[in-house]
Structure 1
């Protein structure tokens, strides 16, 4: 049966997190469609992975036979994350926008799993794997908006996940999530609510379609 790797990076709990609300909806539908399947949930806020250091970085560009004990230990942790990613039939990522880009915990995770010669470069060991990213954001950064030029979440993740890793990438984008909490955005609350409902509907639809595709 299919395996879903579900990665969350919001610092907030599900009740307070727009990205987690949508990833949970996706995951719930997935499990309904795949009751015998496996879900691996990696919560990067609760259990962050180590940031890349000199040992883990240089180990990725050298022959394992030449690794120092420090390099070997650091590289082994990267390999665990890579193998977990490679074992997934589909990947779901919650990626809220913090200060115009992704959370540092998600950046640390990606730094660990991007490995030239294995996941990236000519090899691309997860090439074609469907990856759905829930890219929530407090404002509006889509095409034609005043802040379009400040959108560094989808642009960055497209470069890493689609271009570097060769994943079959799809986005769900709940916008204006700060509207209910920010009096200055009060008039945008209806647009936020519409965006939230659209994102939840997309999560349901995409989860069903993907589950059925992998079950075929």
Structure 2
């Protein structure tokens, strides 16, 4: 799909959630870069580290709440949004423009829909979406600069939506939902945010 993004330089800044200048984030970024000096190799290594080393909260049945990049790194767990925050921070820490993307997917936990968080990164003059949520039976997300290999295909018949915008900062409703609970599994059961504000879905 065609992504809608600002100029790449807008996607390099740090903020209170995408903590690209946090010492722990910088330390991991430097470690990964030392082993993978080429841009694409580093991006792949950062993606695989977050996908494989940080557990998805629901898969692990871990109730801890993580929002910021440093929290995700410290606790080693997070929902898709939180994992996307860490990957975005790791990419920005090494000068690779990266932002947040979202999908609206059917949510079997509630019977409705839920936002799913992704990362888009800018390499070789183009934007590429990646899904670091973590693999499991039936989910095989891979780093790719060719055909997208995300966790789930989107079905418009099921009311699912691919939102094309690459966000510089995390969606405020996502951050608010994560910040307003002390049990992320309870939030998951009650229902994650179901659509981006102002969208038709």
Q: TM-score, normalised by structure 2?
A: 0.26
- Largest Rg, 1 or 2: 1
Query: Normalising by the residue count of structure 1, what TM-score does the alignment of the two structures yield?
Result: 0.25
